[in-house]
Amino acid sequence: MEVEEAGELETAGKDVAEAEYHSHDFEWEELKEEVESGPAFSYHLSPFPEPAASTTSPPQLSSEAWRSFHRRHASGKFFKERRYLLKEFPELCSSKDHAKVLEVGCGNGSTAVSILRSSERITVFACDCSKDTLERANEIISNTKGIDIKDRFHPFLMDVSKETFPDWLFCKACQCSLGKDAALLLDPSHHGIRKEHPVFLRENQCCAGGMDFITMIFTLSAIPFDIMPTTIEQCVSVLKPGGLLLFRDYGLYDMTMLRFLPHQRVGFREYMRSDGTFSYFFSLDTVRELFHAAGLVELELEYCCVKSVNRKKGKTMQRVWVHGKFQKPPT
Ligand SMILES: C[S@@+](CC[C@H](N)C(=O)[O-])C[C@H]1O[C@@H](n2cnc3c(N)ncnc32)[C@H](O)[C@@H]1O
């Protein structure tokens, strides 16, 4: 992970939270023009060999790289509360009573903590492929002043690139009862108490009943591009009809993309850091296609363009993030 991603950037004359919120310090089209006409950047634009010939790592290697990343950074240094998220996604704090959120790839809990703080009635389920980071997230959140997380924070271990979400989040029978297909409801074996029955479910409760929100904050870019569609489908399967998927991630031509060297390219707009973790840089069209293919409706989609100053190095950097909000059609 980049130093800048750890929050060591200073942002010229602004509070960081304010600066990261929906900013348009520069025009993305102008940056695009500069990058696409600059010979120094040409290797970022060239087509990439087909998957069979490419060096893209299989998903288990990518998850393993994240696990060792978290083992190496056990201090919690990469925790940085994302207060700006509530400005980006105000529905998280203005939502109806007892909303349920699934934070995918929660890391040390930077996003989860802001959501938990926004309302005492919100419950956050949070998964990650690293046991170490889940433990750290639990520790950090439990020790955060002003948040009572009792029964409101449920971290669980899961590799979203190859596993399916546990039934206790949203079981098939409950999904069907919300949709038109009621066939499964007639089959009592589909609506029993799960073998795995987490303590937060009441005795007679088969599952959490689906999520009102899913947050994917700098997580999809960490997953190899070819398995993004199935990962998104997975996430959508536990979202209630009418629920929202809230997305924020690296945008095309972000400064951190332009700093990757040619040998670090592992796919089109896809790079591998020296520690083996992946980073993909999204255009709006790619995000649109990925989420539409999973049956979601686009509500908001734009680039956030922020000029940041690294005072130590005296450098100005152009950061690009994608902000997206998608809805699962109500049945
Ligand atoms: C850049 S961090 C983002 C953390 C968090 N969402 C936040 O807002 O700070 C990406 C996280 O995704 C997790 N991750 C990467 N691949 C994953 C996978 N296949 N399944 C589950 N989590 C994964 C990593 O362990 C890491 O914690």
Ligand 1: centre distance to CA 105 (Å) = 3
Ligand 1: centre distance to CA 8 (Å): 19
From the CA of 109, how far away is ligand 1's center (Å)?
10
Q: What is the pLDDT of residue 216?
A: 98
Q: Is residue 236 part of a domain?
A: yes
Instruction: Give backbone dihedrals phi and psi of 42, rounded to 5 degrees, phi first.
Output: -60, -30
Q: Residue 214 domain-assigned?
A: yes
Residue whose CA is at the smallest distance from ligand 1 atom 15: 222
pLDDT at 6: 39
Q: What is the pLDDT along the chain (331 residues), one digit of tens a residue?
A: 543 443 333 333 344 544 556 578 999 999 999 999 999 999 999 998 755 545 555 656 889 999 999 999 887 666 788 888 988 999 988 766 789 999 999 999 999 999 999 888 899 999 999 999 999 999 999 998 888 887 899 999 999 998 999 999 998 888 877 764 444 333 344 444 445 677 778 777 888 889 999 999 999 999 999 999 999 999 999 999 999 999 999 999 999 999 999 999 999 999 999 999 999 999 999 999 999 999 999 999 999 999 988 788 888 889 999 999 999 999 7
Question: Distance from the CA of 127 to the center of ligand 1, in angstroms?
Answer: 8
Centre of ligand 1 to C-alpha 304, Å, is 21
148: in domain: yes
Domain count, the chain: 1
Domain that holds residue 276: 82-176+205-328
Q: Give domain status of residue 25, yes or no.
A: no
Is 217 a pocket residue for ligand 1 (Cβ < 6 Å)?
yes
Give yes or no for residue 222 CB within 6 A of ligand 1: yes
Identify the pLDDT of residue 247. Answer: 98
User: Which 3-state string (H, E, C) describes the chain?
Assistant: CCCHHHCCCECCCCCHHHHHCCCECCCHHHHHHHHHHCHHHHHHHCCCCCHHHCCCCCHHHHHHHHHHHHHHCCCCCCCCCCCCHHHHCCHHHHCCCCCEEEEECCCCCHHHHHHHHHCCCCEEEEEECCHHHHHHHHHHHHCCCCCCCCCCEEEEECCCCCCCCCCCCCCHHHHHHHCCCCHHHHCHHHHCCCCCCCCCCCCCCCCCCCEEEEEEECCHHHCCHHHHHHHHHHHHHCEEEEEEEEEEEEECCCHHHHCCCHHHEEECCEEECCCCCEEECECHHHHHHHHHHCCCEEEEEEEEEEEEEECCCCEEEEEEEEEEEEECCCC
User: So what's the pLDDT on residue 20?
Assistant: 58
Give the residue whose CA is nearest to atom 4 of ligand 1.
Answer: 107
Residue whose CB lies within 8 A of the most ligand 1 atoms, among 66, 115, 161, 272, for a mutation test? 66
Q: Answer whether residue 13 is part of any domain.
A: no
Residue nearest to atom 20 of ligand 1 (CA): 159
In a domain, 34, yes or no: no
User: Considering the domain boundaries, does residue 161 fall inside one?
Assistant: yes
Provide the CATH number for the domain around residue 112. Answer: 3.40.50.150
Please tell me the predicted confidence (pLDDT) of residue 23: 79
Per-residue pLDDT at 56: 54
Q: Is the CB of 223 under 6 A from ligand 1?
A: yes
193 inside domain? no
